Amino acid sequence: MKAPFEQIVHDYGLNVLRVCRAVLDEHRAQDAWSETFLSALKAYPKLADDANVLAWLVRIAHRKAIDELRRQRPEVSWEQLPEEAEETSDPAQSAVDNLQLWQQVGLLPEKQRLVVAYRYLGGLDYAQIAQILCGSEAAARRAASDGIRKLRAMNLNNEYFQELS
Amino acid sequence: MNSQTKKAAPTQEESAALDRLREQLVAEAAKHELVDISYRIVDSPIGRLLLAGTEAGLVRVAFETEGHEHILEVLAEKISPRILKNPRNFDRVAYQLEQYFDGTLHDFDLPLDLQLSTAFRRQVQLELGNIGYGQTRSYLQVAEHIGKPKAVRAVGSACATNPLPIVLPCHRVLRSDGSLGGYLGGLDVKTTLLRLENPSFAGSEQRLF
């Protein structure tokens, strides 16, 4: 039995937003989010009942993002990064921290950026990522660990990346 | 496998962005005719009501006690899973319901979609609309009205499965002895509606046994 699509948007809207933001600049990330859910809504009745909905959505988001990337490289640059975070814990500050996170992921080389985004922001496993990127699971794993090492080198200390083996 | 990445709560900024994006999605989806059912939840004196509609009209009114999420799942299964919440829809329905609960509206005038009902039940449910405000009929009388006096039980199940309660007033149908019979929203709600329409209604005190 299939959930009402509203439930899908509710459950996975955030994952898809984070993936889009990591891969694209803000404006195009929002476009990609909209196009992803619009395409998904269109195809939803034909989706298999036992499909992994998140993997399916990230796959669609990936195609939208690749379309955008082929048109133009992302417009993220060091100059656009927010200023250093102050030592506060108010919610607005954590939003800035996250924004910084997305933008730093956006600075990684393309393959690392996609793998890190799909793994840590989209919540896919390496087998699913390998399928989306038409590569091997081992290569996806390697790209992720290279990417994470680079993010660490950017002094990034974020809970989203605590999973590492 | 860690799931904290999936569960990480949205920041305020992300919540705000998602709200905007959802709103745009609903508008875009409607423009491309990709929404088969939209819905909205409104407050009422008898609890929150789910209003769901197709292009053809109102397809379901559900009481809170029925479980709105469950009802949406049923609609996904029976009609289409292309379901989106759209609080901007159903202004006319919401307005008429508000007037009804104020006691100023006696007859609903809305496009209805009875695709959830079989032909016979549809006939019964539409017949309910002919029972005047503040009036009641017995299940037998309804059966007689549609020319099937022996179909009393079937009339009972048609009332029990009315997808559009309040709008199609199945609450105006009682047992022949004047006792309440059943009601999807609960007998308290049935009594409340009957008293709203007719303050001297005392049916709830009468019982079969």
pLDDT digits (tens, 9 = 90+) for A57-113: 988 998 888 787 777 654 444 333 343 333 334 444 444 455 566 667 778 888 888
Cβ within 8 Å, pair B11-A98: yes
pLDDT above 90 covers a percentage of chain B that reads: 80
Predicted pLDDT of residue A77:
41
Predicted pLDDT of residue B111:
96
Could you give the CA distance from residue B63 to residue B186 in angstroms, rounded to a whole number?
Answer: 9
pLDDT above 90 covers a percentage of chain A that reads: 28
Q: What average pLDDT does this structure show over B51-65?
A: 97
What's the pLDDT band for B33 if we cut at 50, 70, 90?
Answer: very high
Q: What average pLDDT does this structure show over A1-12?
A: 94
What's the pLDDT band for A160 if we cut at 50, 70, 90?
Answer: low
pLDDT at B30 over 90: yes
pLDDT above 70 covers a percentage of chain B that reads: 93
Torsion angle (degrees, nearest 10) of CA A18, A20, A25, A31: -120
Cβ within 8 Å, pair A92-B12: yes
What residue type is assigned to position B113 of the chain? D
* Nearest CA-CA partner of B118 in B149, B157, B69, B70: B157
Q: What average pLDDT does this structure show over A142-161?
A: 75
pLDDT at B50 over 90: yes
Residue B112 bridge partners (DSSP): B58
Q: What average pLDDT does this structure show over B187-197?
A: 93
Between B178 and A164, residue with greater pLDDT: B178
Between B6 and B110, residue with greater pLDDT: B110
Q: Which overall architecture, per CATH, does domain A89-155 show?
A: Orthogonal Bundle (1.10)
* Nearest CA-CA partner of A60 in A75, A76, A47: A47
pLDDT at B51 over 60: yes
Q: What average pLDDT does this structure show over A128-133?
A: 86
Between B4 and A59, residue with greater pLDDT: A59
- For A66-108, give the DSSP string: HHHHHH------GGGSPPPPPS---HHHHHHHHHHHHHHHTTS
In total, chain B counts a number of residues equal to 209
Q: What ipTM score was computed for the predicted complex, to two decimals?
A: 0.88
Q: Which residues in A lie closer than 8 A to residue B80 (C-beta atoms)? A: 45
Predicted pLDDT of residue B177:
82
Ranges A53-62, B1-10, B14-23, B58-67: which has the least confidence: B1-10
The beta-carbon neighbor of A1 closest among B10, B77, B84 is: B77
User: Which domains are delineated in chain B?
Assistant: 13-102 (3.30.160.70), 119-205 (1.10.10.10)
List of residues 6+ apart from A117 with CB closer than 8 A: A18, A19, A22, A23, A105
CB B179, CB B203: distance < 8 Å? yes
Predicted pLDDT of residue B154:
94
Pairing outcome for strands B49-53 and B37-42:
antiparallel
Could you give the CA distance from residue B110 to residue B208 in angstroms, rounded to a whole number?
Answer: 36
* Nearest CA-CA partner of B112 in B193, B54, B37: B54
Predicted pLDDT of residue B92:
95
Q: Count chain A–chain B contacts defined by CB atoms under 8 A.
A: 98
Predicted pLDDT of residue A80:
38
Cβ within 8 Å, pair A121-B5: yes
CB B208, CB B177: distance < 8 Å? yes
The tens digit of pLDDT for each residue in A135-145 reads 899 999 999 88
Cβ within 8 Å, pair B5-A94: no
Cβ atoms within 10 Å of B110's Cβ, excluding its own:
14
CATH topology (fold) of A5-71: Rna Polymerase Sigma Factor; Chain: A (1.10.1740)
Ranges A84-98, B55-69, B102-116: which has the least confidence: A84-98
pLDDT at A47 over 90: yes
| Beta strands per DSSP E along B10-48 | 37-42
* Nearest CA-CA partner of B144 in B132, B133, B164, B130: B130
CB B79, CB B52: distance < 8 Å? no
* Nearest CA-CA partner of A164 in A139, A136, A144, A135: A144
Could you give the CA distance from residue B166 to residue A165 in angstroms, rounded to a whole number?
Answer: 59
The tens digit of pLDDT for each residue in B121-147 reads 999 999 999 999 999 999 999 999 999
The beta-carbon neighbor of A3 closest among B2, B29, B73 is: B73
Q: Which residues in A lie closer than 8 A to residue B12 (C-beta atoms)? A: 91-92, 95
Domain residue ranges in chain A? 5-71, 89-155
